[in-house]
Amino acid sequence: MNRLQAIRPFGQRIWLDNLSRELIASGELARLLADDGIAGVTSNPAIFYKAISSDASYQGELAVLKQDAALSAEARYEKLVVADIQAACDLLLPQYEASQGNDGYVSLEVSPELSRDEAGTLAAARRLWAEIGRANAMIKIPATAEGIRAFQTLTREGVNVNITLLFSLPQVEAVWDAYIAGLSARLADGQPVGGVKAVASFFLSRVDSLLDAQVAEQHKGKVAIALSKAAYARYQERFHGEEFAKLRAAGARPQFLLWASTGTKNAAYSDVLYVESLIGDETVNTVPDATMAAFRDHGDAALTLPVGMDQAKALLAEVEAAGIDLAAVGEKLQQDGLKLFEDAFVQLLKLTA
Protein backbone atom coordinates (compact mmCIF):
# COMPACT_ATOMS: atom_id res chain seq x y z
CA MET A 1 0.00 0.00 0.00
CA ASN A 2 1.47 3.37 -0.97
CA ARG A 3 1.19 6.47 1.20
CA LEU A 4 -1.90 7.82 -0.59
CA GLN A 5 -3.73 4.53 -0.26
CA ALA A 6 -2.85 4.49 3.44
CA ILE A 7 -5.26 7.42 3.93
CA ARG A 8 -8.34 5.42 2.93
CA PRO A 9 -8.56 3.19 6.06
CA PHE A 10 -9.19 6.40 8.04
CA GLY A 11 -12.36 6.99 6.02
CA GLN A 12 -11.13 9.81 3.81
CA ARG A 13 -11.33 9.78 0.02
CA ILE A 14 -8.59 11.39 -2.07
CA TRP A 15 -9.77 13.05 -5.27
CA LEU A 16 -7.60 14.50 -8.03
CA ASP A 17 -7.88 18.26 -8.56
CA ASN A 18 -7.07 18.11 -12.27
CA LEU A 19 -8.49 16.85 -15.55
CA SER A 20 -7.47 16.94 -19.19
CA ARG A 21 -7.92 14.86 -22.32
CA GLU A 22 -4.26 13.86 -22.22
CA LEU A 23 -4.64 12.65 -18.63
CA ILE A 24 -7.43 10.33 -19.79
CA ALA A 25 -6.03 9.25 -23.17
CA SER A 26 -2.54 8.50 -21.85
CA GLY A 27 -3.88 6.11 -19.23
CA GLU A 28 -2.52 8.29 -16.42
CA LEU A 29 -5.92 8.80 -14.82
CA ALA A 30 -6.58 5.06 -14.89
CA ARG A 31 -3.16 4.51 -13.28
CA LEU A 32 -3.94 7.01 -10.52
CA LEU A 33 -7.20 5.23 -9.79
CA ALA A 34 -5.53 1.82 -9.67
CA ASP A 35 -2.24 2.65 -7.95
CA ASP A 36 -3.13 5.56 -5.67
CA GLY A 37 -6.75 4.77 -4.86
CA ILE A 38 -8.02 8.08 -6.28
CA ALA A 39 -11.80 8.10 -5.75
CA GLY A 40 -12.95 11.19 -7.65
CA VAL A 41 -11.97 14.14 -9.84
CA THR A 42 -12.62 17.88 -9.60
CA SER A 43 -12.23 20.50 -12.31
CA ASN A 44 -12.65 24.26 -12.62
CA PRO A 45 -12.26 26.92 -15.34
CA ALA A 46 -8.57 27.44 -14.53
CA ILE A 47 -7.88 23.71 -14.88
CA PHE A 48 -9.64 23.55 -18.25
CA TYR A 49 -7.93 26.72 -19.48
CA LYS A 50 -4.57 25.09 -18.79
CA ALA A 51 -5.71 21.85 -20.44
CA ILE A 52 -7.18 23.33 -23.62
CA SER A 53 -4.38 25.87 -24.09
CA SER A 54 -1.59 23.30 -23.70
CA ASP A 55 -3.03 19.94 -24.80
CA ALA A 56 -2.81 19.45 -28.59
CA SER A 57 -5.42 16.69 -28.51
CA TYR A 58 -8.19 19.30 -28.27
CA GLN A 59 -7.21 21.19 -31.39
CA GLY A 60 -8.73 18.94 -34.05
CA GLU A 61 -12.15 18.85 -32.43
CA LEU A 62 -11.99 22.55 -31.63
CA ALA A 63 -11.23 23.37 -35.28
CA VAL A 64 -14.34 21.45 -36.33
CA LEU A 65 -16.48 23.18 -33.70
CA LYS A 66 -15.25 26.60 -34.83
CA GLN A 67 -16.59 25.88 -38.32
CA ASP A 68 -20.10 25.93 -36.86
CA ALA A 69 -20.90 29.63 -36.63
CA ALA A 70 -24.12 28.87 -34.79
CA LEU A 71 -22.17 27.69 -31.75
CA SER A 72 -21.12 30.26 -29.16
CA ALA A 73 -17.66 30.14 -27.58
CA GLU A 74 -19.28 28.79 -24.40
CA ALA A 75 -21.16 26.09 -26.31
CA ARG A 76 -17.90 24.96 -27.95
CA TYR A 77 -16.19 24.90 -24.57
CA GLU A 78 -19.00 22.81 -23.09
CA LYS A 79 -18.84 20.29 -25.92
CA LEU A 80 -15.12 19.83 -25.34
CA VAL A 81 -15.28 19.46 -21.58
CA VAL A 82 -18.51 17.45 -21.36
CA ALA A 83 -16.74 14.77 -23.40
CA ASP A 84 -13.86 14.77 -20.89
CA ILE A 85 -16.23 14.61 -17.93
CA GLN A 86 -18.11 11.70 -19.50
CA ALA A 87 -14.88 9.80 -20.14
CA ALA A 88 -13.67 10.38 -16.58
CA CYS A 89 -17.07 9.35 -15.18
CA ASP A 90 -16.86 6.12 -17.17
CA LEU A 91 -13.40 5.36 -15.75
CA LEU A 92 -14.70 5.96 -12.23
CA LEU A 93 -17.97 4.11 -12.71
CA PRO A 94 -16.67 0.81 -11.20
CA GLN A 95 -15.85 2.68 -7.99
CA TYR A 96 -19.25 4.35 -8.00
CA GLU A 97 -21.00 1.01 -8.38
CA ALA A 98 -18.81 -0.87 -5.89
CA SER A 99 -19.39 1.80 -3.23
CA GLN A 100 -23.16 1.97 -3.85
CA GLY A 101 -22.74 5.52 -5.06
CA ASN A 102 -20.47 6.85 -2.32
CA ASP A 103 -17.33 7.25 -4.44
CA GLY A 104 -16.34 7.75 -8.05
CA TYR A 105 -17.55 11.30 -8.81
CA VAL A 106 -16.36 13.84 -11.37
CA SER A 107 -17.22 17.56 -10.99
CA LEU A 108 -17.90 20.12 -13.73
CA GLU A 109 -18.47 23.76 -12.79
CA VAL A 110 -21.22 25.97 -14.17
CA SER A 111 -20.09 29.24 -15.70
CA PRO A 112 -18.72 31.49 -12.92
CA GLU A 113 -20.48 34.36 -14.68
CA LEU A 114 -23.71 32.92 -13.22
CA SER A 115 -22.57 33.15 -9.60
CA ARG A 116 -25.17 35.85 -8.76
CA ASP A 117 -27.90 34.43 -11.02
CA GLU A 118 -30.06 31.79 -9.36
CA ALA A 119 -32.25 31.12 -12.41
CA GLY A 120 -29.25 31.03 -14.73
CA THR A 121 -27.40 28.66 -12.41
CA LEU A 122 -30.41 26.34 -12.28
CA ALA A 123 -30.77 26.32 -16.06
CA ALA A 124 -27.06 25.68 -16.63
CA ALA A 125 -26.86 22.96 -13.98
CA ARG A 126 -29.88 21.14 -15.37
CA ARG A 127 -28.51 21.38 -18.91
CA LEU A 128 -25.04 20.10 -17.98
CA TRP A 129 -26.49 17.32 -15.82
CA ALA A 130 -28.59 16.13 -18.76
CA GLU A 131 -25.77 16.51 -21.30
CA ILE A 132 -23.26 14.57 -19.21
CA GLY A 133 -25.84 11.88 -18.55
CA ARG A 134 -23.84 10.07 -15.89
CA ALA A 135 -25.07 9.18 -12.39
CA ASN A 136 -21.58 9.83 -10.99
CA ALA A 137 -21.30 13.37 -12.33
CA MET A 138 -21.42 16.36 -9.99
CA ILE A 139 -22.35 19.88 -10.96
CA LYS A 140 -20.13 22.43 -9.26
CA ILE A 141 -21.77 25.63 -8.03
CA PRO A 142 -20.23 28.50 -6.03
CA ALA A 143 -21.72 29.05 -2.58
CA THR A 144 -23.09 32.55 -3.10
CA ALA A 145 -26.57 33.21 -1.70
CA GLU A 146 -27.98 32.63 -5.19
CA GLY A 147 -25.90 29.50 -5.68
CA ILE A 148 -27.03 28.07 -2.35
CA ARG A 149 -30.69 28.60 -3.25
CA ALA A 150 -30.09 26.88 -6.59
CA PHE A 151 -28.33 24.06 -4.74
CA GLN A 152 -31.38 23.50 -2.54
CA THR A 153 -33.62 23.23 -5.60
CA LEU A 154 -31.20 20.90 -7.42
CA THR A 155 -30.95 18.67 -4.36
CA ARG A 156 -34.73 18.41 -4.33
CA GLU A 157 -34.56 17.43 -8.01
CA GLY A 158 -31.94 14.72 -7.38
CA VAL A 159 -28.95 16.43 -9.02
CA ASN A 160 -25.53 15.76 -7.47
CA VAL A 161 -23.79 19.00 -6.50
CA ASN A 162 -20.31 20.03 -5.41
CA ILE A 163 -20.91 23.40 -3.77
CA THR A 164 -17.68 25.31 -3.77
CA LEU A 165 -15.75 28.38 -2.61
CA LEU A 166 -16.51 27.94 1.09
CA PHE A 167 -14.18 29.80 3.45
CA SER A 168 -16.10 30.30 6.71
CA LEU A 169 -18.32 28.49 9.18
CA PRO A 170 -21.44 30.59 8.40
CA GLN A 171 -21.07 29.74 4.71
CA VAL A 172 -20.84 26.02 5.46
CA GLU A 173 -23.82 26.13 7.80
CA ALA A 174 -25.92 27.84 5.11
CA VAL A 175 -24.97 25.12 2.63
CA TRP A 176 -25.95 22.37 5.04
CA ASP A 177 -29.25 24.14 5.77
CA ALA A 178 -29.98 24.08 2.03
CA TYR A 179 -28.95 20.44 1.61
CA ILE A 180 -31.13 19.24 4.48
CA ALA A 181 -34.06 21.38 3.29
CA GLY A 182 -33.68 20.11 -0.28
CA LEU A 183 -33.55 16.48 0.81
CA SER A 184 -36.49 16.96 3.16
CA ALA A 185 -38.55 18.42 0.32
CA ARG A 186 -37.52 15.54 -1.94
CA LEU A 187 -38.59 13.04 0.70
CA ALA A 188 -41.92 14.86 1.12
CA ASP A 189 -42.35 14.65 -2.67
CA GLY A 190 -42.22 10.88 -2.35
CA GLN A 191 -38.89 10.69 -4.20
CA PRO A 192 -35.94 8.50 -3.12
CA VAL A 193 -33.20 10.38 -1.28
CA GLY A 194 -30.56 7.66 -1.20
CA GLY A 195 -29.20 8.36 -4.66
CA VAL A 196 -28.38 12.03 -4.08
CA LYS A 197 -24.76 12.92 -3.35
CA ALA A 198 -23.32 16.33 -2.50
CA VAL A 199 -20.06 17.65 -1.11
CA ALA A 200 -19.16 21.01 0.47
CA SER A 201 -15.79 22.28 -0.78
CA PHE A 202 -13.97 24.17 1.97
CA PHE A 203 -10.85 26.05 0.85
CA LEU A 204 -7.71 26.11 2.95
CA SER A 205 -4.46 27.63 1.71
CA ARG A 206 -6.07 30.90 0.61
CA VAL A 207 -7.26 31.50 4.19
CA ASP A 208 -3.74 31.33 5.59
CA SER A 209 -2.28 33.26 2.64
CA LEU A 210 -4.56 36.18 3.50
CA LEU A 211 -4.38 35.99 7.29
CA ASP A 212 -0.72 35.19 7.93
CA ALA A 213 0.14 38.90 7.65
CA GLN A 214 -2.56 39.79 10.19
CA VAL A 215 -2.47 37.14 12.92
CA ALA A 216 -0.09 36.63 15.81
CA GLU A 217 3.09 34.67 15.09
CA GLN A 218 1.86 31.57 16.90
CA HIS A 219 -1.25 31.48 14.70
CA LYS A 220 0.45 31.70 11.30
CA GLY A 221 -0.37 28.75 9.06
CA LYS A 222 -2.93 27.44 11.55
CA VAL A 223 -6.18 29.32 11.01
CA ALA A 224 -7.36 27.33 7.96
CA ILE A 225 -6.82 24.02 9.73
CA ALA A 226 -8.56 25.30 12.85
CA LEU A 227 -11.54 26.42 10.75
CA SER A 228 -11.66 23.03 9.07
CA LYS A 229 -11.66 21.22 12.41
CA ALA A 230 -14.45 23.48 13.68
CA ALA A 231 -16.46 22.79 10.51
CA TYR A 232 -15.94 19.06 10.97
CA ALA A 233 -17.18 19.27 14.55
CA ARG A 234 -20.36 20.91 13.26
CA TYR A 235 -20.63 18.25 10.54
CA GLN A 236 -20.62 15.56 13.22
CA GLU A 237 -23.27 17.37 15.22
CA ARG A 238 -25.57 18.02 12.28
CA PHE A 239 -25.29 14.78 10.32
CA HIS A 240 -24.88 12.34 13.19
CA GLY A 241 -27.49 13.93 15.43
CA GLU A 242 -31.23 14.27 15.60
CA GLU A 243 -31.46 16.86 12.81
CA PHE A 244 -30.52 14.36 10.08
CA ALA A 245 -31.94 11.22 11.73
CA LYS A 246 -35.14 11.01 9.67
CA LEU A 247 -33.31 11.57 6.40
CA ARG A 248 -30.59 9.10 7.34
CA ALA A 249 -33.25 6.50 8.13
CA ALA A 250 -34.67 7.09 4.65
CA GLY A 251 -31.26 6.35 3.12
CA ALA A 252 -29.96 9.90 2.65
CA ARG A 253 -26.22 10.50 2.57
CA PRO A 254 -24.61 13.22 4.70
CA GLN A 255 -22.93 16.04 2.81
CA PHE A 256 -19.22 15.41 3.29
CA LEU A 257 -16.76 18.25 3.68
CA LEU A 258 -14.29 18.34 0.81
CA TRP A 259 -10.96 20.00 1.55
CA ALA A 260 -9.93 22.15 -1.42
CA SER A 261 -7.03 24.48 -2.22
CA THR A 262 -4.79 22.02 -0.40
CA GLY A 263 -1.59 22.83 -2.22
CA THR A 264 0.65 24.79 0.16
CA LYS A 265 1.27 28.34 -1.09
CA ASN A 266 3.83 29.33 1.57
CA ALA A 267 7.22 27.69 0.99
CA ALA A 268 7.92 27.88 4.73
CA TYR A 269 5.21 25.29 5.37
CA SER A 270 5.26 21.57 4.69
CA ASP A 271 4.14 20.78 1.16
CA VAL A 272 1.69 18.23 2.60
CA LEU A 273 0.41 20.40 5.48
CA TYR A 274 -3.20 20.55 4.28
CA VAL A 275 -3.34 16.81 3.64
CA GLU A 276 -1.64 15.41 6.74
CA SER A 277 -3.52 17.73 9.11
CA LEU A 278 -7.05 16.93 7.93
CA ILE A 279 -7.37 13.16 7.59
CA GLY A 280 -10.67 11.96 9.02
CA ASP A 281 -13.73 9.84 8.38
CA GLU A 282 -16.45 10.96 5.97
CA THR A 283 -14.33 13.63 4.29
CA VAL A 284 -12.75 14.18 0.88
CA ASN A 285 -9.48 15.90 0.03
CA THR A 286 -9.10 17.02 -3.58
CA VAL A 287 -5.38 17.25 -4.23
CA PRO A 288 -3.44 18.92 -7.07
CA ASP A 289 -0.77 16.92 -8.90
CA ALA A 290 2.25 18.41 -7.12
CA THR A 291 0.77 17.89 -3.65
CA MET A 292 -0.24 14.36 -4.58
CA ALA A 293 3.31 13.58 -5.69
CA ALA A 294 4.68 15.08 -2.48
CA PHE A 295 2.38 13.00 -0.27
CA ARG A 296 3.13 9.87 -2.29
CA ASP A 297 6.82 10.54 -1.58
CA HIS A 298 6.86 11.56 2.08
CA GLY A 299 3.35 12.02 3.47
CA ASP A 300 2.28 10.48 6.76
CA ALA A 301 -1.21 8.99 6.96
CA ALA A 302 -2.75 9.21 10.43
CA LEU A 303 -6.11 10.11 11.93
CA THR A 304 -5.55 13.83 12.54
CA LEU A 305 -8.81 15.65 11.84
CA PRO A 306 -10.60 14.86 15.14
CA VAL A 307 -7.47 15.62 17.16
CA GLY A 308 -7.12 18.99 18.88
CA MET A 309 -10.70 20.17 18.44
CA ASP A 310 -10.70 22.24 21.65
CA GLN A 311 -7.38 23.86 20.75
CA ALA A 312 -8.73 24.71 17.30
CA LYS A 313 -11.79 26.42 18.75
CA ALA A 314 -9.60 28.30 21.22
CA LEU A 315 -7.31 29.47 18.42
CA LEU A 316 -10.28 30.79 16.42
CA ALA A 317 -11.57 32.61 19.50
CA GLU A 318 -8.16 34.24 19.99
CA VAL A 319 -8.05 35.35 16.35
CA GLU A 320 -11.53 36.86 16.61
CA ALA A 321 -10.63 38.52 19.92
CA ALA A 322 -7.67 40.15 18.17
CA GLY A 323 -10.13 41.94 15.89
CA ILE A 324 -10.26 39.65 12.86
CA ASP A 325 -13.80 38.96 11.65
CA LEU A 326 -13.52 35.47 10.19
CA ALA A 327 -16.97 35.62 8.60
CA ALA A 328 -15.97 38.82 6.77
CA VAL A 329 -12.69 37.19 5.75
CA GLY A 330 -14.71 34.32 4.29
CA GLU A 331 -16.85 36.70 2.24
CA LYS A 332 -13.77 38.51 0.88
CA LEU A 333 -12.07 35.25 -0.05
CA GLN A 334 -15.19 34.00 -1.79
CA GLN A 335 -15.36 37.21 -3.86
CA ASP A 336 -11.68 36.89 -4.69
CA GLY A 337 -12.17 33.26 -5.68
CA LEU A 338 -15.11 34.13 -7.92
CA LYS A 339 -12.99 36.79 -9.65
CA LEU A 340 -10.19 34.30 -10.28
CA PHE A 341 -12.61 31.80 -11.83
CA GLU A 342 -14.36 34.52 -13.84
CA ASP A 343 -11.04 35.73 -15.24
CA ALA A 344 -10.01 32.18 -16.11
CA PHE A 345 -13.36 31.60 -17.81
CA VAL A 346 -12.97 34.75 -19.93
CA GLN A 347 -9.55 33.55 -21.05
CA LEU A 348 -10.94 30.09 -21.69
CA LEU A 349 -13.67 31.40 -23.98
CA LYS A 350 -11.05 33.30 -25.98
CA LEU A 351 -9.59 29.92 -26.88
CA THR A 352 -12.93 28.64 -28.20
CA ALA A 353 -14.18 31.85 -29.83
For residue range 100-140, list pLDDT tens digits in order: 999 999 999 999 999 999 999 999 999 999 999 999 999 99
Say how many residues make up the chain: 353
Residue 203, pLDDT > 90, answer yes
**What pLDDT sits at residue 69?**
93
* Average pLDDT score over residue span 260-268: 93
**What pLDDT sits at residue 237?**
98
pTM of the complete model: 0.97
Catalytic annotation, residues: 140
Under 8 Å between Cβ of 304 and 277: yes
Residue 1, pLDDT > 90, answer no
Query: Rounded mean pLDDT of the chain?
Result: 97
Cα end-to-end span (Å), the chain: 46
CA-CA distance, 307 to 246, in Å (whole number)? Answer: 29
Total tally of structural domains belonging to the chain: 1
**What pLDDT sits at residue 188?**
99
* Average pLDDT score over residue span 150-172: 99
Residue 46, pLDDT > 80, answer yes
Cα-based angle 96, 101, 106 (whole degrees, multiple of 5): 55
The CATH number of whichever domain residue 225 belongs to comes to 3.20.20.70
Q: Domain span at residue 19?
A: 5-352
Query: What single letter denotes the amino acid at residue 82?
Result: V
